Structure formats: C-alpha cells, structure tokens
Amino acid sequence: MYHPRSALVFYTSKVNNDTYTEYFDMDRNGSLINAHPLTVREASQLARCLKISEQKQAFLKPQGIIGTHILQLDPVQNGVVIWYTKAMTRELFFLPQLEIPNGKAGVTAMLWVANREKLYVYALKTNTRPTANTLLYHAPFFNVYADGAVCMGTVDVNIKKTSSLEDFTKAWENYFFNSYFSHLMSGYNPVKGNCVSLWKKLISAAGPFPKDVLLKSKQNLKDILL
C-alpha cells in the first residue's frame, strides 16, 4: 500500500513564463497543508526518486525492435537473457602456456545464457534459430565447465543496472572472446580429440569450425528455458 504524503504545484506566469513550485504536506485525510516553496533538500529527494525509477525501467530495455537472436528475456533483479549467435570468425587470445598463437579462427554457432554476474555457453550445430527441441552441444572452448558455466578468471565483469538489452549481450560476448583462454576446467575436454591441437590448427588455417568435433550434451534448449 502506498499513501500520499506530499504534493507539488507548479505555477507559471502568463507574463514572462517564469515557473514557481510550491510544496505541500498532506494530513491523514489527504488535505494539503503547510504550503511552502520547494526547498533544495526536497528537490534532491525528488531527483533521486526519478533517477531510481529511470534505472529500474532502463535495465534490459531494448533500444528498438528485439532482434530475432534473442530467445528469452527476464529483466527482474539480475536479469537473465538467452540468445544465440551464428558461426563466425573471431579474434581469440590464449595464455602462453597453451602454446597456441593469438589470432582469428572460425567459431561455432553458440547459445548464450547470462545474468549480470554469470555466463553459460553452449554450441549449436547449425545457424538456424534454435527451437525448444534443439539439441545443445558442449562449447568447444577452454575455461568452460561441463555444465556450460564460464570461468571468467580475473576478468572484471561489470554489467551495469542500466544496460540496455543490446549493451548487455554485446558486453558478455566481448568479455568472453576478449579474455584469455587458459586451461581446461577440472580436466574436462569439451571436444572430440585434443583441444589444444584443434585450436592450433584453426588459428593457422582459415576456415569454418569443424562441426564433427562437437560433443553432444544431455540438454535441449527447453531444459534451460526460464
């Protein structure tokens, strides 16, 4: 329940369009009392309320028509977005101990699941927009657990509460691909064959990601929908 406590009345002069704002308290019957000019303190409180309201409305708000790559969206609290990206060429970075040179390589189509703090990634076999029954594959990257959770290491993830939907998805994609891949998680190998040899080959030779090395997961898209 919200109860009225105060009111503002704006006056405008017909002569020179000057504006004057008057502040009223309200008694228990809703009658206006204690009229006085709006003070700096009261104006500051009003500004804070408006700013908080604007931030809540802005989080994950799309800048225009929602793109077809967005599969599900829930802006409550930390927010959750599920989206997919098609196979493409990306610039990749690896720590020296892997002995894989940094460079461009083809990456598979991907499914992304993220809130403001966590990211999960999966591989897709085709560029077609996924349906509820689309089978998910393990993401063929270092720093990814068997359940799809991404270890961001020392990356300072800072997704703002005012991020638009487009800024949110772009930020997570940049965090993932612009950080350094370093190791396999808990000895888990996400591909058929040797993961290090695979990425050495992909970096040195231009071409699409080989789908035959992808490993099936036990999940369809409907298993991770909110």
Q: Where are the beta strands (DSSP E) in the chain?
A: 6-12, 19-26, 32-37, 70-74, 80-85, 88-94, 103-107, 109-114, 119-124, 135-138, 180-181, 216-220
The residue behind tokens 């790559």 is 69
Those residues with Cβ within 8 angstroms of residue 81's Cβ, 6 or more apart along the chain or in another chain: 60, 70, 72, 73, 74, 112, 113, 114, 115, 165, 168, 169
> Higher confidence at residue 103 or residue 16?
103
- pLDDT, residue 56, reads 52
Question: What is the domain partition of the chain in residue ranges?
Answer: 6-58, 70-223
Provide the CA 206 distance to its chain's centre, in angstroms: 30
pLDDT of residue 164 exceeding 60: yes
Structure confidence at residue 3 (pLDDT): 76
Global pTM value: 0.75
Average pLDDT, the chain: 91
Q: State residue 52's pLDDT score.
A: 56
Q: Which residues of 136-173 are buried (b: 16+ CB within 10 A; e: fewer)?
A: bbbbbbbbbbeebebebeeeeeebeeebbbbebbebbb
The model's pLDDT over 40-63, given as tens digits with 9 standing for 90+, comes to 888 888 787 776 554 455 789 999
Percent of the chain whose predicted confidence (pLDDT) is above 70 = 96
